[in-house]
Amino acid sequence: MVRVRFAPSPTGPLHIGGVRTALYNYLFARQQGGKMILRIEDTDQTRFVPGAEQYIIEAFQWLGIEFDEGVHIGGPYGPYRQSDRKALYRQYADQLLAGGWAYYAFDTPEALDAKRKEYEAEKKTFQYDCTTRLGMCNSLALPADEVQRRLDSGDPYVLRFRFPENTDITVHDLIRGDVTMNSRLLDDKVLFKSDGMPTYHLANIVDDHLMEITHVIRGEEWLPSAPLHIMLYEAFGWQAPQFAHLPLLLKPDGNGKLSKRDGDRLGFPVFPLEWHDPKSGETSNGYREQGYLPQAVVNMLALLGWNPGNDQELMTMDELIRLFSIEHISKNGAKFNLDKARWFQHEYFQQLSDDTVADMLDTQVKSHGIEAPHEYVVKVASMMKERITFPGELWDTCSYFFQAPTEYNEKDVAKRWQPGMEGHMAKVIEILETVPFEYDALHQALLEDYIKANQLNTGAIMNSLRLAVVGRTVGPDMLTLVLMLGKDEVIRRIQRAIETIGN
RNA sequence: GCCGCGUUCGUCUAGUUGGCCCAGGACGUAAGAUUUUCAUUCUUAAAAUCGCGGGUUCGAAUCCCGCACGCGGUACCA
């Protein structure tokens, strides 16, 4: 049984790269008929941000990524929050200690800092490893009675992993193949902090084992510490899960990891939901609040680093689940592309039913204090849907269906309202008043009998009419619009335009 | 610095066992068609000497080696 987990730390809003990691885990789990678990990694108490955990849960609900077990729903392997599992870790740390895989280290943060500065001065980098540990303040270097004395007197200490000297450790990565690193170059990572909490490295291994995780699908930034994790499994005598390290999501311009700053700078969200930072008070934009459809975000994200092996790009969640494969995950980082994101959004917006779009439009119409018959709103929605990408554009592109223009676009006026135009408009009013108010009759009277017969410029007349009725020279078929608005309303608008724009 | 990962059109990528690839699709861009306008839609085009340099081979984007560049890691953060 495949069991995967998404394990964010609740230090703020969920980054879109994290969302993609969760999505790949989810697709894999569902395809394999396995379980998807949400575990909160909050071993760093200093970085706790209130609301972050709730944010993460809400984001996944919005995106349609469902969990089988997790902090919010419980499950047979709980608790699913590491701070709630605190009591559990110590015994495993002791097990490592007893087996000689870990040791006490009493070096203070200040001492470590000084050491690093000292090395830096010589243009070297200090690393707490097999070559330096005997010169430090730990149970490997100190006499046994001294260690005991410090322990007894309650000196603060951490537990460090004791890397074996000069052994090659190979990580079998499902995406990259075998990656080998030598333990000599790896540092003795802290496993257990002086505050009584494990670090990520220890907690992660203990929890994955206890929760029977079979596949660890996580970001590439974890690859360098994968050998440590492999060694920990070995030290415990546990079977390690399979690993897959995902390529990073890069900023649209230049190189480097996609960050919140890039989003602010380039004007796109890097978070699924809007986020109000409780500390700084600043608000970060979210895909949901921007009007993105969750299925568009999911589809876009799925294709950033993975492909189905053919040319298909539009896929529902079910199709993604069916088609997903770790083999088709690419190795290189992917730059986020805003244009492509907008394209996905447009595609999915078009798939919305007329009624759904009408409901969105209706809300906006009502918010402008206007009541319109439902059928009319649906008709407008179905006509205008295809030229819209975000729900927020609805009112702006459709407002003239519900209210007369209050102003006329200056450039359009300059270009289209030629001298003598008010005379033509008066004629249009005359036609509207005398000719049967139906499409064919109006078309004949206006386009054929008046414009063509008098060798007038069709574009000029029709665009001025549009300007009068809409306020701009954009919109759907002019006669359809006239018919929808009604004779009286159209005449009123033309008259007002003649008065306002004049000649 | 050291360690690791990566490198195909501007961007996402196809290319998994070397020949069907003088490299295919999509987004974007440009042009055209359609429309009374805008948008949609449709058609077409430009766009990668497959990071560079060597090999191996009848034949390499695909295999090997070197180099360059980019990124990640190098915390009592995850």
Is residue A283 situated within a structural domain?
A: yes
Point out which residues pair with A329 in neighbouring strands: A306
Nucleotide nearest to A47 (CA to C1'): B77
Instruction: Give CA–CA dist A173/A60, Å, rounded.
Output: 27
Same-domain check for residues A216 and A185: no
If asked whether residues A65 and A210 sit together in one domain, one would say: yes
Instruction: Tell me whether residue A79 is in a domain.
Output: no
d(CA A9, C1' B68) / Å: 37
CA to C1' distance (Å), from A67 to B76: 32
Distance CA A288, CA A61 (A): 12
**Does residue A167 share a domain with residue A205?**
no
Using one digit for the tens of pLDDT, what is the confidence trace for A224-234? Answer: 999 999 999 99
Looking at the structure, do residues A265 and A240 belong to the same domain, yes or no? no
Residue A126, nucleotide of least CA–C1' distance: B74
Q: What is the pLDDT of residue A78?
A: 82
Model confidence pLDDT, tens digit, residues A47-102: 999 999 999 999 999 999 999 999 999 999 989 999 999 999 999 999 999 999 99
Q: Is residue A436 part of a domain?
A: yes
Report which residue is nearest nucleotide B4 when distances run from CA to C1'.
A224
- State, as a whole number of angstroms, the distance between the CA of A245 and the C1' of B70: 18
**Any idea what the CATH number is for the domain that residue A478 is in?**
1.10.10.350
The answer to whether residues A92 and A124 belong to one domain is yes
Query: What is the nearest nucleotide to A171, using C1' and CA?
Result: B4
Domain boundary among A192, A208, A231: A192
Give me the CA A389–C1' B42 separation in Å, rounded: 20
Instruction: Give strand letter and number of the nucleotide nearest A175 (CA to C1').
Output: B5
The answer to whether position A76 is within a domain reads: no
Total domain count for chain A?
Answer: 5
* A77 within a domain of the structure (yes/no): no
Predicted local distance difference test score (pLDDT) of residue A67 = 98
Catalytic residues of A: 260
Look at residue A503 in the predicted model and tell me its pLDDT: 52
Residues A460 and A447 in one domain: yes
- Helix (H) / strand (E) containing A229: helix A226-236
Whether the CB-CB separation of A37 and A211 falls below 8 Å is answered with: yes
Query: Closest residue to B3 by CA to C1' distance?
Result: A185
A206 plus A64 within the same structural domain: yes
A181/B66 CA-to-C1' distance in Å: 21
Name the nucleotide nearest A197; use CA and C1': B76
Q: Are residues A385 and A453 in the same domain?
A: no
User: Are A229 and A266 within one domain?
Assistant: no
ipTM of the complex: 0.95
Query: Closest by alpha carbon to A37, among A208, A199, A200, A201?
Result: A208
Instruction: Using 70 as the pLDDT threshold, list the residues of chain A that sit under it.
Output: 502-503
| Amino acid A488: pLDDT | 92
d(CA A12, C1' B69) / Å: 34
Cα-Cα-Cα-Cα dihedral sign, residues A246, A250, A252, A253: negative
A61 and A208: one domain?
yes
> In angstroms, how far is B2 C1' from A113 CA?
19
Helices A52-63, A294-302: axis angle to 10 degrees equals 90
| Same domain for A160 and A218 | no
A480 contacts: CB under 8 Å, gap ≥ 6: A383, A439
What nucleotide is nearest A337 when CA is compared to C1'?
Answer: B11
Tokens at A249, concatenated: 């999501």
Residue A81 lies in a domain: no
Domain, as residue range, for A446: 410-501
Whether residues A12 and A35 share a domain: the answer is: yes
What is the CB neighbour count within 10 angstroms for residue A195?
11
CA A246 to C1' B22 (Å) is: 34
Give chain B positions with protein CB within 7 A. 1-8, 10-16, 24-28, 35-40, 70-78
- The H-or-E segment that residue A288 falls in is helix A287-290
**Within-domain flag for A78:** no
Q: Which of A364, A382, A401 is the last residue of a domain?
A: A401
Residue that is written with structure tokens 């897959």 in the block: A244
Residue nearest to nucleotide B6 (CA to C1'): A332
CATH of the domain at A48: 3.40.50.620
Within-domain flag for A458: yes
